[in-house]
Amino acid sequence: MLVFRQVHKAYATPQGPLTVLAGVDLVLAPGESLALMGESGSGKSTLLHLAAGLDLPDAGEVSLAPRPALLLADEPTGNLDETTAGEVLELLLALVRDTGGALLVVTHSPRVAAPLDRCLRLSRGRLADDRSPEPLA
């Protein structure tokens, strides 16, 4: 569905290159949901832009399978109340179940990440497994 192989991305700054992604490897299978978490500026949106084909990596490969659908969501519940956020998340997960597609959600919220199949944390340009953050009380 979605494969990143040794993906690198950096941006030019007056102080020199700013490395955002440093050899990222990622596989997202059909029917799978994945939460991508990290601090602001960690590269989450850059990874999403590469997955969507809105930007190109400096090195490495980003592969997309033509079918089924890949759903990309950047903070889909960020400005919603808790009840509505839960409803939106259920709709996204139902769509993945019904179509056999895959879901990649960028979020700061452990509550959003918890019901997804996997959770990865992006930090210093690298991905780390961060399974099952517990929802906040």
Residue % of the chain over a pLDDT of 90: 80
Residue 131: per-residue pLDDT? 58
Report pTM.
0.86
Mean pLDDT for 52-69 is 90
Query: Which of 65-69, 85-89, 131-135 is least confident?
Result: 131-135
CATH number of 2-129: 3.40.50.300
DSSP class per residue in 7-74: EEEEE--TTS-EEEEEEEEEEE-TT-EEEEE--TTSSHHHHHHHHHTSS--SEEEEEE-SSS-EEEEE
| Domain residue extents for the chain | 2-129
pLDDT by residue (tens digit) across 38-58? Answer: 998 899 999 999 999 999 999
